[in-house]
Amino acid sequence: MKLASSGRDDWKLLSILLMFGLAVSLAINVFYAFPSQRREIVPQSEFVFSWDSKSQRIVNETFVLTLKMWLDNQNLTVVATANDDEYDWFDYLGLVFDSNQNGHIDTGDEAIGLWASNYTVTSTLLEFGLFGFSQAVPVRGPQDVTFDASKGYTFTVHFPFYYPTRLDTPWFDPGASLVDGMNQVHVCFYDDNSSQTSRGQAGVFSRFSFELTK
């Protein structure tokens, strides 16, 4: 009787193990059969903006600002280059996405000001296209900035980013803020240490659209 009972227990254990293995196999098959949908930015080429020497005083020649953007699992990377010829802590790249999804850029959208020092602080988009910055204590931002005197700046920016004073909500969440279809973007660059006196502006800005598709 004792041996028969042990045999039944072995069969029960074997049955449980087989059922568990089948459940794991089904779960794996379901996971791979229904992958998460991936969204892509179209086109994936560079967005290039330029201003001649008469319309800006950042550099003596043509000033060129380029942007590349791509999504990876709802994480947005922006790589921007600016051919400024002199480094300054407070030179900045500004970005405003249509985060309230009303079809255009306005004061309801989050202004993201990114200093060349890799720091940031809350900011506001002003009516003339550049940014105003708050008097709060600067924090480490979502950007990694490099400078080459022969080429200028490269800003590599990663979103989402959580501002230290509001960790419950991302400063900008591409997964929630970007929509399938056309999205509006405002971009600006400001050269804080410009010492030129020729006619033009130390800051430039532009607006453009990109398409997000599944």
- Cis omega (within 30 of 0) for bond into 160: yes
Q: For residues 67 and 78, is the Cβ–Cβ distance under 8 A?
A: yes
User: Residue 36: is its pLDDT beyond 50?
Assistant: no
Confidence of residue 43 (pLDDT cuts 50, 70, 90): low
pTM of the model: 0.77
For residue 64, pLDDT beyond 90: yes
Assign 19 a pLDDT band (cuts: 50, 70, 90): very low
**For residue 194, what pLDDT is reported?**
80
pLDDT higher than threshold 70 for residue 198: no
Structure tokens at 74: 């709802």
Q: What is the pLDDT of residues 118-159, one digit of tens each?
A: 999 999 999 899 999 999 999 999 999 999 999 999 999 999
